[in-house]
Every structure is written in structure tokens, then in C-alpha cells.
Amino acid sequence: MTELKDRLQVADIEKWDLTDIYHTIEDWESDLHKIEVLTKELHEFNGNIHDGNSLLAYLTKSEEISSIISLMFAYARLQSDLDTRDTDAQSLVDKVSQLHVKVSGAKSFFSPFLLSIDESTLHSYIEETEGLQYYKEDLFELYRYKKHVLNKDQEAILSQMGEALSSPQHTFGMLNNADILFGEVTTDDGEKVNLTRGMYAKLIEDTNREKRKEAYKAYYKPYVQLKNSIASTLSAAIKNNVTVSKLRNYPSALEKSLFGDMVPKEVYENLIDTTKKNIQTLHTYNEIRKEKLNVDELRTCLESMV
């Protein structure tokens, strides 16, 4: 049986080059320490923004931190994606995630502070301070969230809960990307090999229906075996969304999700209702496909995309 190659066995030319982001892990660690220092400096703005200049200084430093931490996240996640079983790479993701919680805590005072300022005062800050115009749209967008921003202490608590609230997604990610083991499929030479996601994407479009069916079963079998664990993580994520929505004074988790894009709940519900009313057209189409393909039921593995 052919085994899936370890990353160390793969030629460098076939791997992505992350040195464009950070040349070494040590460079990444250097930025980690830099962000820790900048985060302490960010804390000093709490209660000390009194005019346009101090507001600009805060926003500039906050943007610098966000820019660096985005690179750190990208590097850490891409390193982890090389081999999701690599605990060293996973530790990078954990480190930057914990750092992000600290940064969020340092920034948590800002939204309540900004919303305590009259919009006319903010306008005057922007008019009087060169450089603030760049941030104008984002600053005034925050006023739209006024009903959903808590006081300074409550925002600080929520920011500290960020990592815990994201644990269901993290758990599913580890199950889905590191722990899950797909079944075996047969190559054209009759050899049994372990299925991978890359192989599945090719096999599910193979012209041989039996090969598509074999790949389909091998791919989804472990998900069926893990259905209770996956359902549990989904349930926890839903409960987290509902709880945060209530804490932030949204009528529902749905409306919280739509608020950022300014989509009314009625538009979303109308989309679902319209789809349900016209679903028979899809059913009719599928009946025609079943007839033409000469099958009793339609499944992904029965339909070739080529």
C-alpha cells in the first residue's frame, strides 16, 4: 500500500515558499515580541485620547499592530497547513491567537470611548488633524454599532473570552484537517492507496462511475463516524453565537450576522422563501438527469463533471 508522503519527503520545489513572509521562525518570533511591546503602548491610550492628534496616534499604532499580526497569522497558519499534525507549527498558531486576544483586550476601550464623543466633535477632530481623514469612514461606521457596543469593562471581558468562544471552530478544524483519516481507493494499477483531499478532487470527476463511487464512500465515511463529535462542536458554536448576540443586544444571531453587510432580516428570509416556492423546478431537472443517466438516485459520485 502506498503511504502518504511526509512533508520532509516532498521536494522543496513542490512546496510553497514562506520566506517572502518571514525568512526564519526567529524573524516571526521577533515580531511576536514587538507586538507585545506595542500592545503595552496601546494600553496607555486608555483614558488619554483628548484631541485629534492623540486619536491619530492611537489609530496609527493600532493599524501598525493589525498589519504585523495579520502577517504573523498568515505565516503561522500556512506553516500549520503544510502538515496539520506538526505540533511546532500548531504552537505558532496558538501563540499568535493568544497574542491576538491580548491585542483585542488593549483595544477594547476604544469603541465605548469613541461612541462617548459627539459626532460633531469627531468631525472637528478630522477637520483639524491632518491624517485623520484616512480613517473617517471607519470611525463613523462605528456609530452604526452604538446599540451593540458595551461599556469599557464589558468589552474587555468579551475580548478576553475570544479564544474560548472560538474553541468549537478550532476543535472542528483539528478534526477536519489533522485527525481525520480517509479510507483506501484503488489506483488504475490495482494498488490500494490512502485517499487524500487532492486525490478526491480528481477522482470525483473521473469518467469511471465505480471509481467515483469508491472515492465518495472513502471520503465521507470518517465524517459519518465522527458525526456526534462534529454535531457537538456545531451545537457549541451556535450557542456561542446566540449568547454573544444577546450580550450585544441583537434581536437574534441571524440579525447580528447580517448587520455588518446592512442586509435586513426580511431580505434573507425572502430569499429562502422564494427558493422553497420554486424548488420544484430543481426537482424536475433532477428527475430528467436521473432518466438520462439511467440511475435510481442522484449522488455526487454518480455524476461525472467531465
The model's pLDDT over 191-203, given as tens digits with 9 standing for 90+, comes to: 888 898 888 988 8
Confidence of residue 22 (pLDDT cuts 50, 70, 90): very high
Look at residues 26, 61, 33, 159 and name the one whose alpha carbon lies nearest to residue 101.
159
Summarised one tens digit per residue, pLDDT across range 70-101 is 999 999 999 888 877 788 888 999 999 999 99
In this predicted model, what pLDDT tens digit does every residue of 120-158 receive, in sequence order? 999 999 999 999 999 999 999 999 999 999 999 999 999
Which has the higher per-residue pLDDT, 279 or 88? Answer: 279
pLDDT at 6: 64
Rounded CA separation 214/203 (Å): 9
* Residue 295 near residue 203, CB atoms below 8 Å: no
| CA 140 – CA 127 distance, rounded (Å) | 14
Task: Give me the domains of the chain, ranges plus CATH numbers.
Answer: 7-163 (1.20.140.70), 174-302 (no CATH)
Mean pLDDT score of the chain: 91
pLDDT band at 281 (very low <50, low <70, confident <90, very high): very high
Is 86 within 8 Å of 103 (Cβ atoms)? no
Range with the lowest mean pLDDT among 29-38, 192-201, 265-274? 192-201
C-alpha cell at 269: 428570509
- What is the DSSP annotation of 5-36? PPGGGS-GGGS--GGGT-SSHHHHHHHHHHHH
Segment 213-234 shows an average pLDDT of: 94
- Burial of residue 110 (CB within 10 Å: 0-12, 13-18, 19+) is buried
**pLDDT value at residue 3:** 55
